[in-house]
Amino acid sequence: MAGMLVATIAFSQQKFLFDASKAETAGNADWIIDADKWNLDYSPNAHTGGYEANAQQIPTPSQNNISSNTGEYYWQGALSAWGIELVKKGYYVETLPYNGDITYLDQGNPQDLSNYDVFVVCEPNIKFTSSEKTAIIQFVKNGGGLFMISDHNNSDRNGDGYDSPAIWNDLINNNAVASNPFGIKFDYEFFNEQTNNIPNTTNDPLINGSYGKVTRVEFYGGTSMTLYPNQNSSVKGVVYEEGSSTSGTKNVMCAYATYGTGKVVALGDSSPADDGSGDNGDNLYDGWLEDANGNHRKLIMNGSVWLATPTSAIYNPETTSVKISATGENNAILFFVNDTKPSTNYLISVFDLTGRLVNTANTTTSNNRLKVSVPMDGLYIYSLSTPEKTLFTGKVMVH
C-alpha cells in the first residue's frame, strides 16, 4: 500500500519482575517464584523474625540451567511453575524482594521498572504509595506490561485493613496520572465459579494464544470485574461468569487492555496461578494444571506472552492527521510533530536496542519541536502514541 510504513520493534530477551514487596507471602499465601529463606513476619508490614517465605531477587538454582524437562520443584514458591515456564519460553525472571522499591526511571534503583518488560503482582496486600502508583501507571503508559491478579473480598492476609481488590482499585482510581486508565474496576465479591463462558474469538491473544485455546476457568474464592470502555475503549473481557453476556461489561473474571504503548492483563483470583508447591506452612493447591484441565496454564502464559510482545505500529499518512520526523544530533534527538488537531496530547518514547526506555517527552502543536536527550551516540527506537494507542514507531541514528 502506497504511503504505509510498518515498523516493528525487535528487542532482546524480555524480562519479567515478580513483586514480593506487598505482603504476597503473608498468611496462607505464597505468591512468589522462589524463596531460599522463610523468616518473615507481617504485623502488618514485613520484617524478619517469623516463618513466612522471604523471596530473593534471583531465583536459585540458576535459571540458566532450566531445560524443557525442568519441573516446578526446581524452585520453591507457589508461582514457581509460572516462572519456570517463562524461562522455558526464553524470558528472564526476577523477584522484587519484600524491602525492594517500586520506581520508574530512577537510575539509582537497579530494579527500577524501566529495566523490565512485564511487572507481575499477584494479590497485593499492602497499598501502593502515591509514588508507586505513578511509577506503575507510567511504566505501562510507556510500553510496559502489567499482570494484575486479585483475590476475593475480605482477603486481607496481613491485617492492615486492605485486601487486593481494594488495593487494585486504589491504584486505578486514586493516582496522579489518569482516572481508571485501564478501564477496569475490581468488584468486592467472594465466589467460586467453574465456567466455560468464554468468547469463541479465533484471533484473541489470551483465549487463542501460542499456548493453546482456553475453554474453561475455575475460581476458588475470587472476585469479578466491571469494565468501563468509556474510559478505555480497548478493554476487553475474555472470561465471564456462567449466564453472563460474553460481550458485556459485568461479571468479568479475566480482562485485558492497552494503555499508551503498554498493556495490562487482569485476573480476579490467585488460585489459577497457584501450582500447589512452596511454603510448607501454607495450604496450597494445584490450580496451574489440575484445576480446569490445564487451561489456567494456557490462559496465564498466553497473557504473559501478549504482555511481553513489543507493540508493532502502523502509520498511514493518508488517514492519520499526525506526522513525525526525527534527526539525531549531539547526544539528542530532535523531533518535529506536525498535527492538524491542536488539542491532542502525544507521548514520544525513546528506547535503546535492548528495549530499555531512555527518555520521554510530551508534545502538542504548541511545542511540536522537541529535543530529547539520549546517553550516547547510537541507534535508537522511538514511538509516538496517545493514551489509547501507538501511532508510529521508527528508528533514528544519533551521531
Q: Where are the domains of the chain?
A: 12-308, 313-398
Q: Distance between CA atoms of 110 and 103, rounded to whole angstroms?
A: 10
Which cell goes with 361? 517527552
Task: Tell me the fold of 313-398.
Answer: Immunoglobulin-like (2.60.40)
Question: Contact 357/350 with Cβ under 8 angstroms?
Answer: yes
CATH number of 12-308: 3.40.50.880
Q: Nearest CA to 331 among 377, 372, 381, 396?
A: 377
**DSSP code string of 229-280:** TTT-TT-EEEEE-TTS-TTSSSSEEEEEEEETTEEEEEES-SGGG-BS-S-T
Q: Nearest CA to 188 among 229, 156, 148, 234?
A: 156
Question: Who contacts 70 (Cβ-Cβ below 8 Å, separation ≥6)?
Answer: 84, 88
Q: Distance between CA atoms of 398 and 112, rounded to whole angstroms?
A: 25
Residue 353 Cα to chain centre, angstroms: 21
Helices (H), the chain: 80-89, 130-141, 164-173, 295-308
Q: Is 350 left (phi over 0), alpha (psi -120 to 50) or beta?
A: beta
Give me the tens of pLDDT residue by residue for the chain, a chain 399 residues long.
223 333 344 445 789 999 999 999 999 999 999 999 999 999 999 999 999 999 999 999 999 999 999 999 999 999 999 999 999 999 999 999 999 999 998 889 999 999 999 999 999 999 999 999 999 999 998 889 999 999 999 999 999 999 999 999 999 999 999 999 999 999 999 999 999 999 988 889 999 999 999 999 999 999 999 999 999 999 999 999 999 999 999 999 999 999 988 899 999 999 999 999 999 999 999 999 999 999 999 999 999 999 998 764 444 444 456 778 888 888 898 888 877 665 667 888 898 876 778 898 887 655 678 889 998 887 788 888 877 677 777 778 787
